[in-house]
Amino acid sequence: MPNLPRIRRSRARGTGQVVARPAPLVHELSASGLTWVNVVSPDVETAQELAERFGWHPLDVEDIVSRRERPKVDDYEDEGYLFAVLHFPVYDKQVHRLNAAELDIFIGHDYVVTIPNRELHPVTRLFARCEEDERFKEQLFARGSGRLLYEILDDLFDYCFPILDKIAHKLDGIEDEMFEGRSQEVVRDISNVKQEIISYRKIIKPERSTLRVLERRVEAFLPEELELYFDDIVDSAERIWDFLDNYKEVVDGLESTNESVLAHRQNDVLRLLTVISVTLLPLTLVTGLFGMNVLFPGEGTHEAFWAIVLALLVIAAATLGFFRWRRWL
């Protein structure tokens, strides 16, 4: 299914008139007395039309069109529907970072409305499958709104695990590069992976408590034999959190190890420079002493020159031998 356009206002060239693009398309499927509506990033007019059609509270319209809502569950027991806001990680190719995509969900006894603020591929694929496979749609919709919601969330959380696999693959690559002598190059890679883990944790952490609330509140829309299904969703969120905790410890350990490797190499460089400096110090002293404008025995003779050279070599060898004896080399 193609990405659904948002309303954007742009000025026509040369006319000064404001041109509005078409409103977001509202995609709808119905079967077995159940309706699934999916619309990406609706404008205010579309959100109000949906609210009037399904009898939602006016505050929900504000939540739909707002830029970012925290994960939450609102139970409108008297009106007979449930409103939930959930976040899912999406890789943004423009900034090469993980960002949070918001999914607003309305569930009643005879409808499910999904409103992502950007296209979520698992939702799009499931909707397209229901459009193409009439038998699958009939079987899924016949089980009620709660089961449809479970299938949507299950696909979304399954979509989260490949992102974790990519992070794990990056960590393995960083470890290999670090011990192959490319510690300088992996500093930026460690920083990027650490940023991805932090972003992922920021998305999942508030989600965990929200899913527990959703598990309790959605029971009114589930047959008794399906009440345990949402426990699987909560388990998936907990597994994701455990993976992220593990990756956080791994990346912190890799960062510490890489810093130790870099520090060790710097110490080796400093030790070599120190040895060179200390070795040259007595040689500089000797050459400076004989370079004074005073008379000394053998001045102006070849024998004196070679004697001084020999003395410099002996001093240098003795200095290096001392360093070797002390195991500084």
pTM over 0.85: no
Query: In this prediction, what percent of the chain has a pLDDT beyond 90?
Result: 33
* Domains of the chain by start residue, with CATH: 25-262 (3.30.460.20), 267-325 (no CATH)
Does residue 32 register a pLDDT over 60?
A: yes
What average pLDDT does this structure show over 207-215?
A: 89
Beta bridge partners of 105: 84, 114
Residue with tokens 């047959």: 223
| Nearest-angstrom CA–CA distance, 121 and 286 | 78
Does residue 240 register a pLDDT over 60?
A: yes
The candidate with the shortest Cα–Cα distance to 36, out of 195, 169, 142, is: 142
| Nearest-angstrom CA–CA distance, 153 and 289 | 85
Instruction: Give the length of the chain.
Output: 329
Q: Which are the contacts of 126, defined by CB distance < 8 A and separation ≥ 6?
A: 151, 152, 155
Q: What is the pLDDT of residue 17?
A: 44
What average pLDDT does this structure show over 43-63?
A: 90
As given in the structure block, the two tokens for residue 265 are: 């190499």
Q: What is the pLDDT of residue 155?
A: 93
Residue 42 vs residues 14, 39, 69, 118, 158: alpha-carbon distances, Å? 30, 6, 15, 10, 26
> Strand ranges (DSSP E) for the chain?
9-11, 18-20, 27-31, 34-38, 72-76, 81-92, 97-108, 111-116
